[in-house]
Structure 1
Amino acid sequence: MRAALLHGVYRLVRRRAWLVLLSAAIFSSAALFYIRDLPMRSSFLDIVPPGDPILTKFQEREEIITKNDAVDIILALQHPEHSPRDAERLKAAAESIVQKLRENPEFVSFSFTKDIQTRRGDELLSLRDEIFVKLREYQERLRTVLPATSEPAPGAPGVGDLIGLYAQINAELERIFGAELDWRRLALNPVELVKRFEELKKLNQSVKEEFDRAPGLIQNADHLVTDLLQTITEINEAIEKLLTWPQELYLSHDGTKLLLKVRPRFSSQRGLDYSRAVTRSVQEALQALKLETQGISWGLTGPYVISAETNYQLNVDMRNTTIISAIGVMVVIILTLRRFFYPILALIVLFLALIATLAWAKFSVNGLNLVTSFLPPLILGLGIDYGINFIAHFLHERRAGHRLETALKSAIVHKGSALVTASLATACVLFGLMSASSPGLYEMGIIAGVGVLIALAATLLILPALMIVSHILFRARPPSVGADPGVCPGRTRGFAPTWRLARWPIVVLTVGGSLFMLSQAVHVGFRFADEELAPKDLPSKLAQQVERREFDVGTSGLAEYFLFFAPTLEELRRINEGLAELKAQGYIDAVASLSMFLPSDPAEAEQFFKGVSLTLERDLQRARAAIERQSQELQRLQDLTVQIVRLKGNFTRILDQVALTGAGENVVPDIQAQIAQLEGIEASIQGLEAMGARLGALRDRLMQLHERVETLLQKIAELQQVQGLLKALPKDLQERFVTEEREFIVYAHLKRTTINEPRIYSEFISAVRTFSTDYIGYPMIQDHLERTMKRDFQISTLLATGIILVILSIGLGWGWALVGIIPVGLGFLWMLGTMRLTGLDFNFANIIISSLLIGNGVDYAVYLLHGFLEDRQIEVAWKKTAAPIMGSALTTMVSFGSLLFAATPGLRVFGLSALYGIGFTTLFTLLFLPALLSFVRPRAD
């Protein structure tokens, strides 16, 4: 069936060469147009298995991620003055940028002031304590000025009592004057009269002192209420000022740079196109403002910009490495085949195959990801092998004197059969990657597997068609007829003793070196740190370094954060306590949550608040009652005045009676003193009546004070509670600290060592699980990818080995299949050992190296074994196959070696790993395998 198919291919190419080329040109043009905007997905989330719990959790929490992604604009003064004017210039520039970007509805939030700071919460809690101290101070003053109780002191007569007493005295005196009582009897009893006058004197003195003191008390109370009202106003202003969060400019340490954060509507995870559009919009706005003319330079960083620039750099690297690879491959082919024209034809065919492969990548999996980004050099490295072998066989036939058609038929039918076997083996190994759970490896398998088959089809169809058409157009001369330089029996006789002499040293050195490499290979690790594999010299990366160094922040967004979710306040406090311990142990360096603004001990704070609130309110109630009582007393002063005037009149009549009768002259001085006291009381009453208006005003102000204190205490009480605090916080902080489901969010910024050191990260996760079950963080994806792709690496390696053994056993038998796999196994082992010695680890870029090495490297052993099994003479087989094997290996190594010129570290790591693997595999194929085969006895003629 294979032979019939290959004969059909030959007939098609021979008879319809122009049609084949026209069809190829049309198809390639359409494919090239189709991939003009080939998507490049550079997010870690794109290589996480779909439906994975971690990916699902990130998708569920996308709203939180969206609110933390931002484009970071760093404004820098080119010629700073190191004065306050620097900040003014930077602020003015930031305001102009904000005004410009507001014209674009894609941007929803702007900030160039410092983010939430723990000190804001500390200030709020400290202010609360200061408020209570001040209120207690005024409470004590209130107690000293106003009566502590609303009732008069025992034994202290009120105005009503005075009215009653004076009325009683007046009534008694008037009864005397009305002859109801015997005046002479009273006058003849001076002791009784003096006693009554003495009591009245004391009463009058007490009343006068009380009335004289009242204006001072009212004035002091008025001053106190004024002071207390002013204090309440100041406290309210302090709270309002603090709750307006007047944050300072986000200046660098030296004050010459300003950080402006711009938040788009959607997260950077929305896709590469969105990140590009956002970045382009910001760049255009900044360029339109011409800040350079104002002496201000700017730089961009953040997940949007880094994603766009990384993708751009990947495209540049893909283009540059493809060009370098093509030039290098062409040079190697020219040197190997000693021809110039045919290598150009092979490269043309290979580029057409590459275009078709990229079109297949876009059609099947919508572009390339982090793992498949180095596909062009990969296809060039794998596909050029078919062109070299096809052209080498064709030239061999032409040198043998065969016509063009005969040489092409032999190349298609005979060499094509071997190429089909080799390509199927390589494709099957690559298709084996489709069993991986990671989309990165799965997509590499489906793209590269089909790409190898496309390269084979192009080699068997387009390359011979080009040869035929070029022969017709240019009438190319056939190579000179003669012995093929690749096979010279006369020059192989000396190889027999050479291999017999060298085989033991080669075997011993290989075995000894392999044991050493084995001791190193077992320590090769798996690291998937994004920053170690992404380009480091991008403008956004350099700006990110400035941001970290001069603004004390991590990467914009959540790349270095863990987010914890707490459904209750108790859970929130437990998480904060656990994170505080981890911070003390050095795993994290910052924690932000709503707890920063809540009392550390809510029970103690609540008890403290209730105590102050109740006692102050009780004292104010007493003061209000005392003022009310005083007001009522003042309202009765007129009645008291009537009684005093009446009493004075009665005392005057007594003096008149004494003057007429001469009786009771000894009481005259006392009566005169009583009259003088009463006149003094009258004067005091007149002063108190003038104080009535002030007392009414004081009563009203005290009522106002009570209401304002009550409002203030209520506000403080609310600030101690979650819901009240949420109302006080700005909206953007509310969104950052609380989800729409009313879950509390805690942000923990991890140290770089915690993220990048697997052991430390494992310790961190173990500690986190003791106090929380609901958390996410980008380092979780890194760790999960490491474990997932490590498992996929092991499975794909075993699967590739099994596939190759099965395919080799069909053509060579199980025994020779095991022999053929030895160079690949040794090459893989030495590659691992060298990676360990040079400090390389497996990552998402070079994780597929085992499948590529097994699929591509085994071809070299197959070529050598096929030649050896013809006559069991290793010298002849080595001479026939060494040059083609070396040529194929060199072209593959040149293709992968071109990745060393990439700016992306991940591509360089893959290229270096591939060079190690293919180089060692080729070395052991050309040295160790012949040394082993030299122990096999030649077949008897």
Structure 2
Amino acid sequence: MRDRVLRKWARIAATHPGWVILALFGVTVLSLISVRTIKMDMRWSDLLPLHDPVVQEFDRILKEYKSVSTIHIVLRGEEQEMKKFAEEVAPLIEKLDDYVERVDYKIDRQFLSEHGFMLVKEKDLERTAEMFQDLNLIPFLTQINDNFETEYIEEEEALSTKEKEDNAVRSLDGLQFWLGAMDTFVSEPDRATRALVESAVDRFLYGEPYFISQDKRVLLISVKPTFSSIEIDKCIASTEAIQEILDKAGSDFPRVKAGITGVIPLQKDEMEHMTVDMKRSSIVALVLVLILFMLTFRVWSTPLLAALNLVIAIIIAAGIVGLVLGRLNLMTSMFAVILIGLGIDYSIHIISVYGERRARDKDTATAMEHALVRAGPGVITGALTTAAAFLALAVSVTRGIREMGIVLGIGIISGMISTLVGIPAMLAAREWVLGKVSRKPVKPPHVEFRVLERFGRIVTRYPLHFLITAAVVTLFFLYQALRVNFDYDMYNLEPEGLTTVELQDTIIDAFDLSPDFALVTASSIEESWEIAERAREMPSLSSCREYPEAAQFERERSGSDRGQHRTTDRTA
């Protein structure tokens, strides 16, 4: 039955190649239309199991909140220049209403002045009251010194976390600025102004208002977006809009270096680099296959037909993926390169056998029949077993791996069908065209590898030697395989030299704070506070905050809205 179908199709393709090629071209055009619907989705959660509670909770948070990501703007330069830069760009970024919910680059002074004491522990309130009992200079300075000794020297837990350490540094920074202002009043009374007094008092009460590193060389601006990181179009548009603002402001502040990092800018970079890499690697793979094919078969037209068949197979596969899945993820985006490496084999089998039969048979149709009957079963069996292996991944609980199996399974089957349908028609059309041009029968060259024949004879003569050698080599590489270590740093999957990744390291070095974070949901404000208190004691966490703090405070005061609230733990 199979041989009869292959014979019949071989004769149709050999006698009516134009119609077959035209039909294949029509399917390709329809596939191209479907390809335009494919979206690139680079979510890291696709690499995790679908039924994992962490993944389900993350997806639920994305649905219930506008965004859980933050765009970080990293400024590097001289302290005052960075602060002026931040003051200039922050209002402009806030005007991007379609993408930006708020911009944070310094503490909310108004909120702290109105509600700060309500957020302070009772013992800290008592210390503060004692410190301000006598406002005469010497007693006041003495009380400040005693307060610092009590809080940061006598109590071992005072600097036990990164957040407590940052608060201590902020307080000391404010005290230093206040003392410097007093020195200015004494040594340079002409510079003593009311603005300096107000600034000194604010710094003393609230500390350093800007999100700046302890060495004053890096300033951080946090932008909260109105969308999630899975909305790729908005990731790209918002990052470009913010970058445009930074570039314009940069001309007025040449000594300030400004860059963007965070999940959203990283999504944009991944998209751009993945698209470029996918095209580049596919072209390079196709060219290398073509060169090797031409060197082997000593002809240029036949390899071009095989390459054309590969392109058609990839387009058809992508079109089917557009209908079935509608997207490519982090793992499936490079499927074209894999299909080029696997799909070229099918063309090689048919072309090789056809060249051998054409040297013996009198016409194209007969040679094509023998070629498909001889090579077709192997192509079909090989393709179906390979596709089955990939499609078996469809039962995976990880979405990325499951879709990779589906995409590659579809691609292998598409490559098999396009080869069995297209290659016979293309070979027949090639022979007909070259015959018309040269006005004499043209047969494809029959290639034989005499070296392999001699090597086969040597193997059959000394089988034991080759078996021992193969066993030794296998054991050596097994030993090397057992020494392989897993790299769990996901950023090592990113393209080299990405500014977004470099700035992530800059934030970690400058603030001892990672832009990465963990999200925890709570059913009430009280529960979120309890979780936050326990989380702050964890050494692996840099800081822990409940969001949105102001709204939570108002709800707590009014005793209303006992719904869900989000606690964000920023990891160190």
Instruction: Normalising by structure 2, report the TM-score.
Output: 0.75
Q: CA deviation at 1:368?
A: 1.2
**Alignment counterpart, residue 363 of structure 2, candidates 394, 397, 403:** 403
Kindly provide the CA deviation profile for residues 855-896 of structure 1, in whole angstroms up to 9, marking residues without a partner as x: xxxxxxxxxxxxxxxxxxxxxxxxxxxxxxxxxxxxxxxxxx
Paired residue secondary structure (1:372):
coil
**Alignment counterpart, residue 512 of structure 1, candidates 466, 472, 487:** 472
Asked if structure 2 preserves the Cα contact closer than 8 Å seen for 1:244 and 1:730, the reply is no
Asked if structure 2 preserves the Cα contact closer than 8 Å seen for 1:38 and 1:367, the reply is yes
Q: CA deviation at 1:430?
A: 1.7
**Alignment counterpart, residue 340 of structure 1, candidates 270, 280, 300:** 300
Paired residue secondary structure (1:104):
coil
Alpha carbon RMSD of aligned pairs, Å? 4.0
Instruction: Give the Cα separation in 1 of the matches to 2:336 and 2:529.
Output: 51
Structure-2 change in CA distance of 1:509 and 1:560 (3 Å):
farther
**Structure 2 residues without counterparts, runs of 5 or longer:** 136-197
Q: Which amino acid aligns with 1:131?
A: A
Structure-2 change in CA distance of 1:537 and 1:437 (3 Å):
same
Pairing 1:494-505 to 2, within 5 Å after superposition = 496=457, 498-499=458-459, 502-505=462-465
Q: CA deviation at 1:11?
A: 3.3
Q: Which amino acid aligns with 2:313?
A: A
Paired residue secondary structure (2:102):
strand
Q: CA deviation at 1:523?
A: 5.5
Asked if structure 2 preserves the Cα contact closer than 8 Å seen for 1:90 and 1:257, the reply is no
Kindly provide the CA deviation profile for residues 132-175 of structure 1, in whole angstroms up to 9, marking residues without a partner as x: 676799xxxxxxxxxxxxxxxxxxxxxxxxxxxxxxxxxxxxxx
Q: CA deviation at 1:462?
A: 1.5
Aligned length: 495
Q: Which amino acid aligns with 2:442?
A: P
Asked if structure 2 preserves the Cα contact closer than 8 Å seen for 1:6 and 1:416, the reply is yes
Partner of 1:31: 31
**Alignment counterpart, residue 530 of structure 1, candidates 485, 490, 496:** 490
Q: How high is the sequence identity, in percent, across the aligned residues? A: 20
Pairing 1:842-881 to 2, within 5 Å after superposition = none
**Alignment counterpart, residue 258 of structure 1, candidates 197, 219, 232:** 219
Instruction: Give the Cα separation in 1 of the matches to 2:519 and 2:380.
Output: 51
Instruction: Give the Cα separation in 1 of the matches to 2:527 and 2:53.
Output: 27
Structure-2 change in CA distance of 1:538 and 1:38 (3 Å):
farther
Instruction: Give the Cα separation in 2 of the matches to 1:730 and 1:492.
Output: 81
Structure-2 change in CA distance of 1:524 and 1:134 (3 Å):
closer
Asked if structure 2 preserves the Cα contact closer than 8 Å seen for 1:124 and 1:242, the reply is no
Paired residue secondary structure (1:458):
helix
Paired residue secondary structure (2:39):
coil
Partner of 2:70: 70
Q: Which amino acid aligns with 1:31?
A: S
Instruction: Give the Cα separation in 1 of the matches to 2:101 and 2:336.
Output: 40
Partner of 1:99: 92
Partner of 2:102: 109
Q: Which amino acid aligns with 1:461?
A: V
Asked if structure 2 preserves the Cα contact closer than 8 Å seen for 1:101 and 1:285, the reply is no
Partner of 1:22: 22
Structure 1 position 428 matched with structure 2 position 392: no
Partner of 1:130: 128
Structure 1 position 461 matched with structure 2 position 450: no
Q: CA deviation at 1:589?
A: 4.2
Asked if structure 2 preserves the Cα contact closer than 8 Å seen for 1:86 and 1:256, the reply is no
Structure 1 position 43 matched with structure 2 position 43: yes
Kindly provide the CA deviation profile for residues 279-302 of structure 1, in whole angstroms up to 9, marking residues without a partner as x: 233234445x35325425432111
Q: CA deviation at 1:247?
A: 5.7
Instruction: Give the Cα separation in 2 of the matches to 1:251 and 1:399.
Output: 78
Paired residue secondary structure (1:248):
coil
Partner of 1:445: 405
Instruction: Give the Cα separation in 1 of the matches to 2:455 and 2:421.
Output: 41
Instruction: Give the Cα separation in 2 of the matches to 1:561 and 1:357.
Output: 38
Partner of 1:311: 271
Kindly provide the CA deviation profile for residues 564-605 of structure 1, in whole angstroms up to 9, marking residues without a partner as x: 74857588557735752x42xxxx1424257xxxxxxxxxxx
Pairing 1:454-493 to 2, within 5 Å after superposition = 454-475=414-435, 478-479=442-443, 485-486=448-449
Partner of 1:703: none
Q: Which amino acid aligns with 1:259?
A: L
Structure-2 change in CA distance of 1:459 and 1:733 (3 Å):
farther
Instruction: Normalising by structure 1, report the TM-score.
Output: 0.47
Asked if structure 1 preserves the Cα contact closer than 8 Å seen for 2:105 and 2:211, the reply is yes
**Alignment counterpart, residue 544 of structure 2, candidates 578, 592, 611:** 592
Paired residue secondary structure (1:506):
helix
- Decide which structure has the larger Cα Rg and report it: 1
**Alignment counterpart, residue 541 of structure 1, candidates 495, 501, 511:** 501
Instruction: Give the Cα separation in 1 of the matches to 2:336 and 2:216.
Output: 47
Paired residue secondary structure (2:38):
coil
Q: CA deviation at 1:309?
A: 0.8
Instruction: Give the Cα separation in 1 of the matches to 2:121 and 2:532.
Output: 23
Structure 1 position 416 matched with structure 2 position 376: yes
Q: CA deviation at 1:342?
A: 0.2
Q: Which amino acid aligns with 1:458?
A: S
Q: Which amino acid aligns with 2:129?
A: I
**Alignment counterpart, residue 533 of structure 2, candidates 567, 572, 576:** 576
Instruction: Give the Cα separation in 2 of the matches to 1:397 and 1:486.
Output: 17
Structure 1 position 58 matched with structure 2 position 58: yes
Q: Which amino acid aligns with 2:99?
A: E
Pairing 1:139-154 to 2, within 5 Å after superposition = none
Partner of 2:518: 561
Kindly provide the CA deviation profile for residues 428-476 of structure 1, in whole angstroms up to 9, marking residues without a partner as x: 2222222222222221222211211111111122222222222232326
Q: CA deviation at 1:273?
A: 2.7
Paired residue secondary structure (1:373):
coil
Partner of 2:194: none
Instruction: Give the Cα separation in 1 of the matches to 2:484 and 2:455.
Output: 42
Structure-2 change in CA distance of 1:55 and 1:571 (3 Å):
closer
Structure-2 change in CA distance of 1:114 and 1:130 (3 Å):
closer
Instruction: Give the Cα separation in 2 of the matches to 1:484 and 1:55.
Output: 55
Structure-2 change in CA distance of 1:503 and 1:63 (3 Å):
same
Asked if structure 2 preserves the Cα contact closer than 8 Å seen for 1:41 and 1:272, the reply is yes
Structure-2 change in CA distance of 1:91 and 1:279 (3 Å):
closer
Partner of 1:291: 250
Structure-2 change in CA distance of 1:311 and 1:542 (3 Å):
same
Pairing 1:677-716 to 2, within 5 Å after superposition = none
Instruction: Give the Cα separation in 1 of the matches to 2:97 and 2:531.
Output: 43
Q: CA deviation at 1:415?
A: 1.4
Structure-2 change in CA distance of 1:572 and 1:390 (3 Å):
same
Structure-2 change in CA distance of 1:422 and 1:733 (3 Å):
farther
Pairing 1:919-938 to 2, within 5 Å after superposition = none
Partner of 2:139: none
Instruction: Give the Cα separation in 1 of the matches to 2:234 and 2:385.
Output: 40
Q: Which amino acid aligns with 2:103?
A: F
Structure-2 change in CA distance of 1:578 and 1:290 (3 Å):
closer
Structure-2 change in CA distance of 1:8 and 1:54 (3 Å):
farther
Structure 1 position 385 matched with structure 2 position 348: no
Instruction: Give the Cα separation in 2 of the matches to 1:94 and 1:261.
Output: 12
